[in-house]
Structure 1
């Protein structure tokens, strides 16, 4: 008896069934599986990118260490705090009665702020170099002028109802200077009508609060000059000229009841910082000019205070001498975009592969990705010698040409090589723009990601992701 089983389907003869092993191998070679493997490869390449980030941080710490070495020999960040009129006094009082009777003596210190203070000067900046690292260092010439009014009558009031003894002959004018080792000339307190009094090292009766501010490269210090009772009791006009070295930044305390500060410099990249920003500022290629005015009420402290510490250490105003490009920070930020950077490149290669007659092995994808990782290493190495912009051009150009030629020859297509040249050139251009526009980096990055996904969706719309290569079935009733 002959087997007459019907082998037809409603759409025509049934397709021959492939063995399960053959179907499985076909699935492993399908574009869908390859797409997933490429995604996994992109994440695996984050491992070498992390090692590159560690290298960038290590070089950045090395640069900071060299900067501190330069600052130790030339001068660190300077803080000019003062002048203040400091007058020590004691209060003697008694406590208890009978056998518990006791006489106590308390040492106290009164600090009088200038009625008016004007700080002006010029800061000449140059880049000091050690090995391949540089630091903005400066020589500042400052003039501190102003007036101390006669002390108020209630300046030496007893707290415990005792007797006040003012050490009138111990009164000093104190100026806090962060790094006195960097003074380049003798300093004197010029008093109107009475000549000049040379300063001595130290803060006199005062001490500076120790803290862990990272901008400070040395311990607290300062200078002091004695003032006779006949001078300070009646008020006096003063003038102090300072010439000192420093680096990175310079700060001034608004020590006067009304303080005016004016700073000029030849450094074209200032960063104004501190408790007060300048009222007026002019910045151009030849330098900057900035001016501050801090009135008595804005300063927020009284005209006279009793303290053993240098006042206003947390109310400084100043300017940082910013380097145009901190390429260590820029490269470190760019590594955050490495996964997107690599994924966009792999997507372009995948689309070109699907549209060509040749296949690109996943190891070849890995080689392309490693070339992009090495781009960051080249960028870091060249930036330390020729600057960030030129280093980026060299590293990006090398990575673009290498990958474009490699992909074009592997896919046996000159057009594929030219497409990758354009794609990689655009990616590197966008990455450079992202690093320059910190405020808009997230916005630009999200738009680019959306556009890249949209292009990928439509370009890969006709790809047979399963790899089976089956045509769509014809509708029922079609002509045979």
Structure 2
């Protein structure tokens, strides 16, 4: 009897497009796990950077908040009594003008860069006489000869000189303000004899150093702040945006003009040194400039990592369509290796970004990953032309992500348009595939 060899029949799931698509989906979902781990690594490195920033603030100087001035005039609560009790009138400026000029410089701490600055700040303005009738105080109770002018600085170790304070035409040298009757956490004060009529004019200059940002406290009945810096990409923060601003490649400037109607402090009050220490009120009255890039390296890596799933899916779909059109199957294990290469890409990007910056890191990581995948694809398909086309497609994907990361305001619009074009392209190329024949 002659026996005929009968080749084994393929099982139902072998060669099935839909089964392969299902397994590819499972591989993509599995690759999300290391993607999450990478995000944790980014967060960890960012925490280290934050600690480094705190270290620079401790050794150099931290963020600066320019506060004040405030005028404090003591008065006799019980005139004619044997035991006099002293109270205090707190008065804010009628007009407050601040002119701040900053010069920045990079400060490297390990692999981290911190923006530090030196500043020249001119402060001037005037106080009106206190409204004693509203305060319920008689003029004879007020001790004008014991008046004090106080102004605060959030990090006083950043003060580079002993400022000269001019009040009513007289020049004074300030000293550290004691804790009692001090409305600021860190303040300097000048004792003088206040005029009993007319405005009380003042002016002083501050040479301050700080890091990362500088802020101002809206204390005047009208507060005008003018800011200039060599920093080209300022980020304006706080409760008030500037009325005028401009930025060029060589620097930036801004102007604020604020009225007391939306200021959370009264113009005058009695016997309460906590009014200017309320965190909520300070937050509502603070505005300033952050001297950091609009998107730092870690934020860029984080945003890039968010597109990991999209890149993996588009890469798998492109390779899948390539193998169907060319009728050269690619094993699922090879898909897994390509996905692993795209995950390692983000570790490479993070480590390089800390050393050479995000843009160069993105270029090197992308070229290395695309070259690796293209070489691997060429060996799988035995076709250099197909591998070159696949590398070109990957370059478009990575270039598209890079453009989105660089954009701020138009990222969503550009991303939506690009995704629409990608979907339309996939629809066009999928027409050449006979799905029923698979």
- Say whether the fold is shared (TM-score over 0.5): yes
Distance 2:332 2:196 in 1: 84
Distance 1:330 1:415 in 2: 33
The structure-2 alpha-carbon separation of the partners of 1:295 and 1:345, relative to structure 1 and needing over 3 Å to count, comes to same
Structure 1 counterpart of 2:62, from 61, 67, 76: 76
Q: Which moved more, 1:328-337 or 1:295-304?
A: 295-304
Q: Which runs of 5+ in 2 are unaligned?
A: 1-5
Give the match's secondary structure for 2:326.
coil
Residues 114, 147 of structure 1: 8 Å contact kept: yes
Structure 1 residue 239 and structure 2 residue 203: aligned? yes
Distance 1:263 1:462 in 2: 62
Structure with larger Rg: 1
The structure-2 alpha-carbon separation of the partners of 1:55 and 1:47, relative to structure 1 and needing over 3 Å to count, comes to same
Structure 1 residue 22 and structure 2 residue 9: aligned? yes
1:305 deviates by 2.7
Q: Which moved more, 1:62-71 or 1:353-362?
A: 353-362
1:251 deviates by 1.0
1:302 deviates by 4.0
1:124 deviates by 1.0
1:413 deviates by 1.2
CA RMSD of the aligned region, Å? 2.9
Distance 1:105 1:36 in 2: 88
The structure-2 alpha-carbon separation of the partners of 1:153 and 1:361, relative to structure 1 and needing over 3 Å to count, comes to same
The structure-2 alpha-carbon separation of the partners of 1:207 and 1:236, relative to structure 1 and needing over 3 Å to count, comes to closer
Structure 1 counterpart of 2:282, from 283, 298, 313: 313
Distance 1:123 1:453 in 2: 49
String of CA shifts for 1:425-465, please: whole Å, max 9, x gaps: 00001111111234444444444444444443453446465
Give the match's secondary structure for 1:281.
strand
Structure 1 counterpart of 2:240, from 246, 271, 276: 276
1:301 deviates by 4.7
Structure 1 residue 152 and structure 2 residue 116: aligned? no
Distance 1:453 1:191 in 2: 70
Aligned residue for 1:115? 94
String of CA shifts for 1:172-225, please: whole Å, max 9, x gaps: 1111210111111112321233332423244651344xxxxxxxxxxx312121
1:138 deviates by 0.8
Give the match's secondary structure for 2:343.
helix
Aligned residue for 1:173? 149
Distance 1:377 1:316 in 2: 39
Aligned residue for 1:293? 257
Structure 1 residue 205 and structure 2 residue 181: aligned? yes
Question: Higher RCO, 1 or 2 (CA under 8 Å, sep at least 6)?
Answer: 1
Structure 1 residue 327 and structure 2 residue 297: aligned? yes
1:107 deviates by 6.5
Q: Which moved more, 1:27-36 or 1:83-92?
A: 83-92
Residues 325, 432 of structure 2: 8 Å contact kept: no
The structure-2 alpha-carbon separation of the partners of 1:316 and 1:106, relative to structure 1 and needing over 3 Å to count, comes to farther
Residues 90, 165 of structure 1: 8 Å contact kept: yes
The structure-2 alpha-carbon separation of the partners of 1:366 and 1:71, relative to structure 1 and needing over 3 Å to count, comes to same
Distance 2:239 2:259 in 1: 13
Structure 1 counterpart of 2:333, from 363, 367, 374: 363
1:170 deviates by 4.1
Residues 191, 237 of structure 1: 8 Å contact kept: yes
Q: Which moved more, 1:126-135 or 1:281-290?
A: 281-290
Structure 1 residue 139 and structure 2 residue 139: aligned? no
Q: 1:80-95 to 2 correspondence within 5 Å?
A: 80-89=66-75, 91=77
1:67 deviates by 1.0
Aligned residue for 1:352? 322
The structure-2 alpha-carbon separation of the partners of 1:347 and 1:193, relative to structure 1 and needing over 3 Å to count, comes to closer
Determine which structure has the larger helix proportion and give its number.
2
The structure-2 alpha-carbon separation of the partners of 1:397 and 1:105, relative to structure 1 and needing over 3 Å to count, comes to farther
Distance 1:277 1:386 in 2: 33
Structure 1 residue 223 and structure 2 residue 188: aligned? yes
Structure 1 residue 267 and structure 2 residue 236: aligned? no
1:270 deviates by 1.1
Give the match's secondary structure for 1:172.
strand
Aligned residue for 2:37? 51
Residues 79, 252 of structure 1: 8 Å contact kept: yes
Q: Give the 4+ runs in structure 1 shifted more than 6 A.
A: 103-107
Distance 1:273 1:247 in 2: 15
Structure 1 residue 66 and structure 2 residue 52: aligned? yes
| Length-normalised TM-score, structure 2 | 0.88
String of CA shifts for 1:377-423, please: whole Å, max 9, x gaps: 11111111111111111001111111111111111111220111111
Q: Which moved more, 1:182-191 or 1:75-84?
A: 182-191
Distance 2:349 2:234 in 1: 26
Q: Which runs of 5+ in 1 are unaligned?
A: 1-17, 94-102, 209-219, 470-480
The structure-2 alpha-carbon separation of the partners of 1:246 and 1:232, relative to structure 1 and needing over 3 Å to count, comes to farther
String of CA shifts for 1:285-315, please: whole Å, max 9, x gaps: 1111222222343546543233322536230
Distance 1:107 1:402 in 2: 80
Distance 1:343 1:247 in 2: 42
